[in-house]
Amino acid sequence: MQAYAGMMRGWGVPVRPVVLDAQDGDALSAVLRLRAAGVPVLARVSSSLRLSVAESSLPGRGGESLPAHQIMGAARDMRRPVLWRDHGPARVVRTSLSAAVRVGLPVRGSGGGRVVRGRELLLLGVGENGRRWPQELWLTDLLNVPPAALVRLSTLVQRVDRDFLEIADRVGMRDFAGRSFSGWHRHVTLASAAHAVAALSTRHDNTRHEDDRRLESVL
């Protein structure tokens, strides 16, 4: 996150949402740090993450904080179908169910339930019909973005996984055998450049434009 924030400040690149899998890390800390830096974020979170309900249509608003999976379980009737295209070679169109609930971070010393205005976030649930609900949970500060757009944005983590398997190992990303940091840095820089060239050269132009439009649509 420090590297990303530094790049944003030093290079003057356009702001884009950070999409990350934070199931096994401190998701709230990551979200708050990026938000403080003015960077939109969409983070996959653990089902046990405790949040406060801020959605007026759900029971438990203003009460004690609850696990994310319990909050989303109460939003089962809010699910809607979403079409998205996977990142495999065939770019198959798939359907998922999604629901979005406004949540807040419990404020210490307030009984655990009060939500401070301006600290609201959106909890996104994603799953498939006939399977357990939810299968995925995402937390974002993109409060005004439609859930369908957030679901499609979340699939970019699949693209990262696929590219790592198909490209990163092929260009030697993990093959450094030295011991010095400067040597490792040079190796990773060259491998990263090769990775970027390989990724861009194997993608069809309209696929790139589609991903660009997806990012533009959430800002």
Inter-axis angle of helices 147-154 and 205-217, nearest 10: 130
Concatenate the DSSP letters of all residues of 85-143 into one string.
E-SSTT--EEEEEEEEEEEEPPPTTTTT----TT--EEEEEEE-TTS-S-SEEEEES-T
Q: What is the pLDDT of residue 217?
A: 55
Does 118 score more than 60 pLDDT?
no
Does 144 score more than 80 pLDDT?
yes
Cβ neighbours around 139 below 10 Å, total: 24
Would you kindly state where each structural domain of the chain is located, as residue ranges?
A: 14-146, 162-217
pLDDT band at 205 (very low <50, low <70, confident <90, very high): very low
pLDDT band at 62 (very low <50, low <70, confident <90, very high): low
> What mean pLDDT, rounded, does the chain reach?
82
Does 112 score more than 50 pLDDT?
no
Which comes out higher in pLDDT, residue 59 or 152?
152
Does 203 score more than 80 pLDDT?
no
> Which of 72-76, 126-130, 178-182, 210-214 has the lowest average pLDDT?
210-214
Give percent of the chain above pLDDT 70.
83
SS3 category, 43: strand
pLDDT band at 186 (very low <50, low <70, confident <90, very high): very high
pLDDT band at 32 (very low <50, low <70, confident <90, very high): confident
Which comes out higher in pLDDT, residue 62 or 173?
173
Q: What is the pLDDT of residue 219?
A: 47
Q: Which residue, among 165, 130, 124, has the nearest Cα to 146 in the 3D structure?
A: 124
Tokens for 36, please give them.
């403080």
Does 89 score more than 70 pLDDT?
no
First to last CA, the chain: 19
Which comes out higher in pLDDT, residue 160 or 191?
191
Spatial separation of the C-alpha atoms in residues 41 and 18, rounded to whole Å: 5
Q: What is the pLDDT of residue 134?
A: 95
Does 65 score more than 90 pLDDT?
no
